[in-house]
Amino acid sequence: MAKRVLSIDLETFSDVDLPNCGVYRYVEGDFHILLFAYAFDDEETQCVDLASGEELPQEVVDALFDDSIIKSAWNAQFERTCLSKYFGTQLSPNSWQCTMVWAASLSLPLRLKLAAQVLKTGEQKDDAGERLIRYFSIPCKPTKSNGGRTRNLPEHAPVDWTLFKSYCIQDVKTERDIRKRLEKFPLPSSEWDYYHMDQRINDRGVLIDKELVQQAIICDMALSEAMTKKAYELTGLENPNSVSQLKSWLEDRGIAVDSLGKKEVASLIADLDKHSIDAEALDMMKLRLQMAKSSVKKYQAAERCICSDGRAHGLFQFYGANRTGRWCLTGDHEVLTDSGWTRLDKWNGGKIACWNSLQECVSFQKANALCFNYNGPLYFYEDKRISQISTPDHKMRVKKRYDGEWTDDTVGNMTKYRPSIPFTGRRMITPSLEHMELRVLIMTQADGHYSQDGILSFRFKKQRKIERCKYLVLTAAVRCFNVPVITEMSMSFR
């Protein structure tokens, strides 16, 4: 017999900034649950107006503490942490399921609105929600017109409050509709066990050395003050941190620059140091580079996130590594980034090529690097197109038979059949090494470079290589264009 499912969505208020501090710190401020929308299974969605004095039905309270009933929410960690604060006890994650994590396992967007759009669900997220959240869930600026208040209550905008309740109800409907779509692709129970372990780790948190953090920030402030003072003395500028003012100062000294980004400043320093052109400009650029360092921001972030127990909670996002699952591949495995092919152990995060089974296309998505120690069996897989070593839990997009559906499966299970693995942005039937599209892909792997806007470029100095590149892309019917420089050729895939 299937377990009952309680779908939940909350609207809350706190004077702590949620995006900058995280939900665990958020609930330690002036925190209130305003609305509690819920629905059991396919029953009608209800909304409890806690801000107006209504109370949760006993049936709902009992369900929240009953491990035999599944609690479901989009980004369930938020709802569970908020309700733990509301009840004054830590709710166990064991009976909670997060539809955002479930969606992430299928390479769907991590925002409820976008996931609903991609899945084309019957229920969509209400666009009015962002305005209502800014009004009711975030402190407001005290003014004469609002009587100097710092928070908007239901009585201050009754019509909007009614809309806010409708918005909360709609979120439950949308999340439930998404869940029904995802049920066609069930997440293994072992994955939910890993998710629950992840939640327990986040609940436990990481102990932060407060004194170390505070002293690091103080040291940075003292250093910044000293560097700013020296920059004033060197340039005489009103604001030496101003890009426009600094550019003008450099131009007056005969040094033209297009940008003062980190890479450009580092290059300029090397050039000035090599040619000993301008000692003052060199000193100023070194100061600029030093002042731009962001390492102290990690200490500032840690200070914001420290909870009353001296720990930072919620630091891990399950399936947050751009929907790749988790810990999978050895360091010598190469991945396609927007800067070309890179060894996994040399990759520190950024945009990485991901394959979408619905459109059968490749796009670059932002991901984080995750490294861990592993002690267990490894599977070696190799054919003409792929060679990899991975853990049994590593997931890949495969077809079990040619006319089947694309699905996620682990490498361990793939040993039981002969899988079909996506290789290009478009599926190719019986390709061979002489196939023009395949030859273009091989050339791309060897000499291609992806720019920020997705343009694939090749740069050749030898005329025969330029002609060969033209021949291959034109024969493969790839849309491309030449740039004015004779030694460079660029093309874009659509």
| Cβ–Cβ < 8 Å for 260, 246 | yes
Provide the total of helices (H) and of strands (E) in the chain, helices listed first. Answer: 17, 19
Does 15 reside within a domain? yes
> Which runs of consecutive H residues, i.e. helices, occur in 292-379?
296-305
From residue 449, how far is each of 39, 457, 491 by CA, in Å? Answer: 50, 5, 10
**Is the domain of 222 the same as that of 199?**
no
Report pLDDT digits (tens) over 213-232: 899 888 888 888 888 888 88
pLDDT band, residue 317 (cuts 50/70/90): confident
Domain boundary among 238, 267, 296: 296
**Is the domain of 52 the same as that of 193?**
yes
**Is the domain of 80 the same as that of 172?**
yes
CA distance 171 to 220: 44
Domain boundary among 184, 205, 226: 205
- What's the total number of domains in the chain? 4
**Is the domain of 132 the same as that of 270?**
no
Predicted pLDDT at 431: 44
**Is the domain of 200 the same as that of 223?**
no
Predicted pLDDT at 251: 87
The Cβ-side half-sphere exposure at 464, using a 13 Å CA radius, reads: 0
Predicted pLDDT at 50: 97
**Is the domain of 273 the same as that of 363?**
no
End-to-end Cα spacing for the chain: 48
**Is the domain of 182 the same as that of 216?**
no
Tell me the pairing of strands 96-98 and 70-73.
Answer: parallel
**Is the domain of 114 the same as that of 44?**
yes
> Which runs of consecutive H residues, i.e. helices, occur in 97-241?
99-104, 112-119, 129-136, 158-182, 189-204, 210-235
Does 408 reside within a domain? yes
**Is the domain of 26 the same as that of 112?**
yes
Task: For residues 338-364, give the mean pLDDT.
Answer: 75
Predicted pLDDT at 226: 87
Rank 153-157, 347-351, 360-364 by mean pLDDT and report only the highest. 153-157
Task: For residues 479-490, give the mean pLDDT.
Answer: 46
Lowest-confidence region among 56-70, 111-125, 366-380? 366-380
* Whether pLDDT at 354 is above 90: no
* Whether pLDDT at 481 is above 60: no
**Is the domain of 65 the same as that of 108?**
yes
**Is the domain of 182 the same as that of 281?**
no
Domain boundary among 148, 179, 205: 205
Does 315 reside within a domain? no
CA distance 180 to 188: 16
Does 91 reside within a domain? yes
Predicted pLDDT at 20: 86
Adjacent-strand bridge partners of 73: 98
Burial grade of 356 (CB within 10 A; 0-12, 13-18, 19 or more):
middle
- State which residues form the domain around 215: 210-296
Smallest CA-to-CA distance from 5 within 47, 44, 40 is with: 40
Which residues in 367-400 are b (16+ Cβ under 10 Å) and which e? beeeeeeeeeeeeebeeeeeebbbbebbbbbbbb
Task: For residues 79-106, give the mean pLDDT.
Answer: 94
* Whether pLDDT at 147 is above 70: yes
Predicted pLDDT at 179: 95
How many Cβ atoms sit within 10 Å of the Cβ of residue 202? 22
Lowest-confidence region among 29-38, 280-289, 449-458? 449-458
Does 81 reside within a domain? yes
CA distance 212 to 198: 27
Predicted pLDDT at 430: 45
Angle between helices 279-291 and 210-235 (to 10 degrees): 150
Report pLDDT digits (tens) over 175-220: 999 999 999 999 889 889 989 998 999 999 989 999 998 998 888 8
Predicted pLDDT at 400: 76
Does 53 reside within a domain? yes
Report pLDDT digits (tens) over 258-287: 888 777 888 888 888 877 678 888 888 888
pLDDT band, residue 96 (cuts 50/70/90): very high
Instruction: Give the rounded percent of residues in the chain with a pLDDT score beyond 90.
Output: 35
Does 423 reside within a domain? no
Q: Return the CATH number at 59.
A: 3.30.420.10
Does 352 reside within a domain? yes
Report pLDDT digits (tens) over 368-423: 776 666 667 777 776 656 667 778 878 787 877 666 777 778 888 887 877 777 65
Q: Return the CATH number at 482.
A: 3.10.28.10
Q: What angle do CA 213, 214, 220 make, to 5 degrees?
A: 90
**Is the domain of 249 the same as that of 398?**
no
DSSP string, 130-169: HHHHHHHTS-----TTTTT-SS--GGG-HHHHHHHHHHHH
Lowest-confidence region among 20-24, 330-334, 360-364, 407-411? 330-334
pLDDT, the chain, mean: 82
Lowest-confidence region among 169-178, 215-224, 340-349? 340-349
Instruction: Give the rounded percent of residues in the chain with a pLDDT score beyond 70.
Output: 83
Predicted pLDDT at 423: 58
* Whether pLDDT at 46 is above 50: yes
pLDDT band, residue 488 (cuts 50/70/90): very low
Predicted pLDDT at 491: 43
